[in-house]
Structures are given as structure tokens and as C-alpha cells.
Chains A and B, each alone.
Chain A
Amino acid sequence: MSAFWYYVFTLVFVMFDYFILAMGLNIQYGETGILNFAYIGFVALGAYVTGASSLPPSAGTGQQYIMGWGIPFPFNLLLGGLAASLLAVFVAVVALRRLRTDYLAVVLISFSLVFYDITNNYVPLFNGADGLYNVPEPLASVFKLTTNSFVPFFAVVAGLIALIMWWAMSRITNSPLGRTFRAIRDDDGVAAALGKGVFRYQLTSMLIGAFYAGVGGGLLVQFGGSFNTSSWLPAETFVVFAVIIVGGVGNNVGLLVGSLLVETLLIHLPAFLPDIPGHPGLIQYIDTMVVGVLLWVMLWFRPQGVVPERVRKTPLSLLQGLKSDRTANAEVPAMSLVDGAGVVEEGGVRD
């Protein structure tokens, strides 16, 4: 297989993987309004658990890690997702119950930095800064795959998993549960007044989103065979936010578009370009600047994203000819994370 197709399938895999990651962040932020700035931490935990649980016991491998159970493919991925969900419970109980908006964002991003710091420095956990490597290629022995044929094969597997997770996600977002999530996003006070346990729903949303993050991270480590701390600096969370903001918050199709535009074409494609002579890394720096500028441009000219959230019609609103005013006016963004212009009174700490 030529190098060209190798790159193409790598990009296809990246697109599917970030689609899964974007769905996870979208249910937390886009549907429920939780500003999860620690998202990449959940991705990393999923990746580490998936990798470490599929590796053989660490003695004699030259690496230090916990677990080492040699669990085969789909199950280690599941374990990664569940581990990320478990972390979400911890984070939600400590931070989410007490804080909102800005403060939550600050605490979560600090949390992801600390998780990063500990993984980096405490070697016995996941082999420190070197990270895990030689993670077995899933199903390679079953289908007798070589290193070359593994890439297109696993891109297809990731696509199938993404498809299943997409189906599950649209089931969730179209269910009464999803409706409650959006009610909390639009106004948690109103949702609470209608008898919804806001924190319980936020916790559920965090759980589901973290599971997606864990699976997405697990696929990353299965595809690349290695995972270390340089691949998930806390600022990476911002890239996933860029994917969902550019694609369209609250719309699953938009997330696929965003993942194609931002992650695949803007971030991964230029990585294959040769360096400008005498300026190592310059392309990457410019590339990252472009992502930042693209965000300003998108937020200014099209804050609802390339594929905006569709106006959901209930039988009742159709009957009365009502139109949800939430997404009717595209100029006014749908989310109401902090209400009103008088933000001065908006509190940071929930009492």
C-alpha cells in the first residue's frame, strides 16, 4: 500500500475518532451546558486504561504500569470508557455540585493539569513521561494483518464504532432524558423548579460524555500503539471545543463536519507537510494560530456553527403553531450558561 493511502486512512481514522470525542463533549457542553474544560483528561484516562489493560504484566517489558491484564480488544476499550466515567463521578461530586460557569471552568482545567502532572511524574502509574508503547494491535492476529494493512482496517473499525455511538447518542438526545438535559442547559433554575434534580442529570450527562471520551481515547492508543503525556496537554481540550463550535453545537451531524474541518484538515493534514527549512515547527505554530483565529471568525460571523442545532418541534408546539424561540434567532446563541446582561450579579459559587 502506498504511503498516500496510509495517510488518507490515518486522516479518516482521526475524523471518526474526533467525531466520537466531539459527541462526548457535546452532550456535556452542547446539550447540558457543563463547561468541561478537563475533557482531555478523560480522554487520556480512557487511553491509558485501554492500553494498560491490554498489555501483558509490566514485569520484563521495560515499562512500568498498573494493570497489565492482557484483555482483548473490544473489552479493554469498554474498560477505558468505564474508567473515564468513574473519574467523571469524582469530578462531578467535587466540582460540579458547588461551582458554575467560570469557576467550574477554572477548577476543571486546573484538575486536568494536575492529572497531567501526576501522570508525568509518577512513573509506576502509566510509565511517566515516556508513556505506554508496544500496545498490541487489536485483532491483528485474528485477521493476520500486517502493519500496513492494519491502518485501513482499524479506520473502518473506528468508523463502525463511531456509527454505533452516533446511533446511541441520537437515541439519548431525542429521548426525554436529552430534553431534560437541554432544559437544564437553557435554564437550570426553571428545570429545578419543574422538579428535575439538576445535579443528578448533570452527573448523568458527565458520565455519558466521559464514556465517549474514554472510548475515543482508547481508540487512539489502539490505533497508534503508544500514548504519552505529550499528546494530551490540557490545552488540547480547546481543540475539541473548536471542533464542536465550528461544526455546530448541539447537532451530531455538525460534529462530524467540525471534526473533518478542524481536526482532520486543519490540524492533522498540515502535520504531513515538510518543515520550512531553518524553521523547525513553524508550520505547526502557524497552524495552531489559524485554529485560534478561525474560532474568533466563527464566533463572530456564525456562532451557531456550520450545521446549526435544529429547532426541535414537539407535538404540542406543532399543534399550537408555536416555534421555539430558543434557536429561532440565530444572532442570539442558544446557550444560556450565564443569564442576562447583568452578569455582575451572577454568582460563581453555588450555595
Chain B
Amino acid sequence: MEKVLEARHINKHFRKPVEFHVLKDINLEVRKGEFVTVMGKSGCGKSTLLYILSTMDTEYDGELWLNNKLISGLHADRLSHIRNKYLGFVFQFHYLLSEFTVLENVMLPAKKLGERPIEQIREDAMQKLDVLEIGHLAEKRANRISGGEKQRVAIARALINDPVLLMGDEPTGNLDSQNAENVFRIFRNLSQEQGLSLLVVTHDDDFAQKTDRIIRMEDGYILDKG
């Protein structure tokens, strides 16, 4: 299977408040269609790793490859474009723009990409919402829907540009078990039916056990690549 994302010898130091070596020679890869979780105790560096892999954090040593292209060291605007086109994010908090409708929130990254006409984007966004069973909320303001619904909107937004890799930072952390189960089911489907790769940081052992592979981290090292 081809590699979607590959990290080679990633090292990261926090300089403030004291010098601290957070990530120690991290090597990992995510293959196409794979559903991978990263687990570890608080402070083991798993979130730090995720943000480096997401290209948002650029202060690290080592190489990052996406679709077999080196992307570490690229200009910030170029990285923005890569995030826009190839990566999707779901965070613990939904981060919807509260003044916009659900549909507008989902459409926003595609409008930024600007590769499709606006009608097409609207149609695609509606389709994503329908798949996630929240099509009926499309015209509602983003701050008028429930927490579980918000997280599903956030997933739809992450998917709008058909990314190659979906990243999650505790995407079920704020959800009750039923909604968490829903989100897991959605992720599972995406990986199985659409061949989407997923890389999810989580504390939730039940969640992790059902995924393809678990990467365990401790004190900045990878203990087990699953």
C-alpha cells in the first residue's frame, strides 16, 4: 500500500519555559486507507506530534513527506495550501464560525481552494452533510445546534476538499458515548468505503481498540507502532 504520510527522524524541543526535548527521533508512516490512532499519557508528546504532522507547527527537525513529496521547510503560504487541499482536521472543540450557517461553515475551505464553481461546492457540502445525517441543519446558524451535531459539521468541513488524510485531536473527547460512537462509525466508514486515511490522537481506549493500528507513545518516544 502506498504511503500517504511519512515522518522521518522528527525531533522537537520546547525552549520555554525550560529546555525540554518533547519528541525524540520519531519515525512513522500512515498508508492509504489506514485508520491509525496515537495513544499515550498526557504530556507524552502525542498532540505535539500531531500538530507537526499537520504542518501547522513548523519548528522541528526532521523530514515530513506527504504523498511522497517532502513538505518540511516549505513556505507558510504553500503549507496553508497543502492543509487546505490534502488535509482535514477535527479537533476536540468544533471551531465552527458561529455567525455563519452550518452550510457556509462546511463550504468555507472549498471556497478558499477555489477549484470548483460555487454551485458545485454547495452541492458537495450538502452531500457531505447528508452522509453525516445532518443535512436538515444546513441553514441553521452554527451556534444553534447541539455539541454532537457541531462535531459532525466539523467533520463535514474537514472532508469538503476530499483530503487524503483526516487528522483528529481527541475528536470524541467532548462527546457523550453515543455521539462518540457515531463519530467512530463515521470515521470507520470513511476509511473503509472511501479509502481515506485517518490519524487520530485519543485517550479513549475503546475507540482505539477498534481501529486498524495503535501507535503508543511515552516520554517523546514511540513505544509500539502497532
Does B bind A?
no
Measuring CB to CB, which residues of chain B are less than 8 angstroms from any residue of chain A? Answer: none
